Amino acid sequence: MRLFEILIVLTVFLTLVGNLFAPATKLPRFRSYLPGLATLFIFIHLVLERYRWQMLPLYALAFLLLIIGLLRLKRQASVGPTEFPSRTRRLLVGAIAVLGLLVLAVATWVLIQFPVLRLPQPTGLHAVGTTFVHFSDSERPETLTDDLSDIRSFTARVWYPAELPARAKPMAYQEHSPRVGSISPGGPPDFAFSHLGLSKSNSHLEAPVSDAETSYPVLMFSDGFLADFDDYQLLVEELASHGYIIFSLNNPYESQSVVQPDGSVVPFTEEHRAGLAQHMQAILPLWERFWTSDDVNARNQIAKEILHSESFMDNVLNIRVADMSFAVDELERMNEGEVESVLAGRMDLSRLGIIGHSMGGAVAGQVCLVDERFKAGVNLDGFQWGDVVEGEITQPFMIMYSEMFAGANDYILNRFASSLYLVTLNGSTHMNFEDAPLMLPITRIMGMAGSIAPTRMKQIVNDYLLAFFDRHLSGAAAPLLDGASPPYPEVEFERLERGAGSRTRDESE
């Protein structure tokens, strides 16, 4: 909680406790003034910290106590402080105090589950800048709308190593990409996550690129289905602070919160909503069988069944892959100065990698298969499908699993012709790769996130990503990828090497 939120909670609490243990008319006058102090704190809070819906019960409780306190002071002034209240009145005041404490406890719990935070500072040497780039592919029609004149258009948010001007202020966590709409009609209302706009990131809009290096390696990022490019800021800010430029593409008509450069909102289409519901109905029983099976061969067979149930996602996969390749075409033009950008001439596209989570993880594998400009790829907990199942990925690749999806891609491990790293994080679930477990602690209570601490998950994921890309894009030493790592007992690590028809395995204990 923020400073004045804490002060409001404390003054309301002291007022209620005072009424509970001394519910008499004859009270120290300062106790009657506490609700006024809470009201003052609310006013300062609204000016400096700004309103958020989670505070509404506290606002109401403080104002109710203020009214009661004013009435009490008026009564004391008229009848004098010597009157002793009746037993009924004492019971009534005590009951109100108990009820108020219950409301206060629930309100405080809500504040803790929906906090306003400042993201943890990245550990790299660079400050982090951010900007937005809009792409329009005039040669590719938009297939997700009925308007035949539409062309494919999408936006990327970019994070990069930066030089900060004096008194630079970081952006809000969701300043340019608010959530708009829910996954399903029964989902949370639009305002449920509005408080995230009050949290602070470590990214600075349009800051100059750092001159520490003449150019920096580039990573493309593909988020999960229905997710947004702002849902992974803990990951991308860390990479940028260590000298990477990261482009994260949004996905119009497929993601639930795409905001266009003109401020208009691209909705999640009803066609996709219906298709997703049908897809989930077919695929969830297969995943339930996968999760409850201990037999490796049976799990591989189930994975193949899941593969044949991915028809709904095939179109989405192909669109995202085409978006990635077109974006890299435009980055090449941008780097040559043909397109104006703060990043012109600063991108080393000979060191190009890709990361994807969930649906985006499948995109990462498919992109590596079809576009040789990408030199390395990472799939974060995504089920790999597409042409990869019959093709061969020649670039170094890493698959990072949550505990729940561990081994989901074992049935196609022979499709990776270069170094393949398998990293499983025990205690994690699919959502742990996003920022949500830190930004919304309630996800852990609801079982959507695993038992691993969000900051610990962030450290492990970022350390393995940095080691992988440092080694395979920059040729740097990366001992973390050589075998078991005692500092990370939560991690099961495996390295597979294929060459000359053989494979060697190095597995951590």
d(CA 270, CA 188) in angstroms, rounded, equals: 17
d(CA 40, CA 16) in angstroms, rounded, equals: 17
| Percentage above 90 pLDDT, the chain | 56
d(CA 271, CA 146) in angstroms, rounded, equals: 11
Q: By the 8 A CB rule, do 420 and 378 touch?
A: no
Is the pLDDT reported for residue 407 higher than 80? yes
391 or 68: which leads in pLDDT: 391
Q: By the 8 A CB rule, do 437 and 460 touch?
A: no
Residue 190, token pair as written in the block: 């639009």
Q: By the 8 A CB rule, do 173 and 137 touch?
A: no
What is the pLDDT at residue 184? Answer: 44
What is the pLDDT at residue 74? Answer: 74
Count Cβ atoms below 10 Å from residue 487 Cβ, excluding itself: 10
First and final C-alpha spacing in the chain: 41
Tokens 């093709």 belong to which residue? 391
What is the pLDDT at residue 165? Answer: 82
Average pLDDT in the 426-443 region?
94
Sheet strand arrangement including 203-205: 203-205, 127-141, 151-162, 245-249, 216-222, 347-357, 376-380, 397-402, 420-425, 491-499, 502-507
Closest CA to 130 of 93, 164, 159, 107: 159
What is the pLDDT at residue 509? Answer: 41
pLDDT band for position 177 (50/70/90)? Answer: low
What is the pLDDT at residue 188? Answer: 65
Count Cβ atoms below 10 Å from residue 350 Cβ, excluding itself: 11
What is the pLDDT at residue 15? Answer: 87
Average pLDDT in the 456-483 region?
95
What is the pLDDT at residue 237? Answer: 97
Q: Is 424 helix (H, G, I), strand (E, B) or coil?
A: strand
Question: From residue 267, how far is each of 256, 316, 423 by CA, in Å?
Answer: 6, 15, 35
d(CA 173, CA 230) in angstroms, rounded, equals: 8
What is the pLDDT at residue 240? Answer: 98
User: For the residues of 346-370, what is the DSSP string, one character each?
Assistant: -EEEEEEEEEEETHHHHHHHHHHHH
Interval 116-170: pLDDT, tens: 998 999 999 999 999 999 999 989 988 877 777 888 988 899 999 999 988 889 9
64 or 313: which leads in pLDDT: 64
What is the pLDDT at residue 500? Answer: 38
Closest CA to 226 of 404, 457, 368, 436: 436
Is the pLDDT reported for residue 312 higher than 50? yes
Q: Is 77 helix (H, G, I), strand (E, B) or coil?
A: helix
Q: Where are the beta strands (DSSP E) in 196-285?
A: 203-205, 216-222, 245-249, 258-259, 265-266
Average pLDDT in the 341-362 region?
95
Is the pLDDT reported for residue 248 higher than 70? yes
What is the pLDDT at residue 181? Answer: 46
The Cβ-side half-sphere exposure at 59, using a 13 Å CA radius, reads 12
Residue 97, token pair as written in the block: 């105090």
The residues with which 216 forms a beta bridge, in sequence order, are 347
pLDDT band for position 506 (50/70/90)? Answer: very low
CA atoms 62, 64, 67, 73: torsion sign: negative
Interval 77-120: pLDDT, tens: 666 555 556 677 677 777 888 899 999 999 999 999 999 998 99
Interval 274-298: pLDDT, tens: 777 787 888 889 889 998 888 888 9
Cα–chain-centroid distance for residue 268?
A: 19
Measured in residues, the chain has a length of: 509
- Strand 216-222 relative to strand 347-357, pairing: parallel
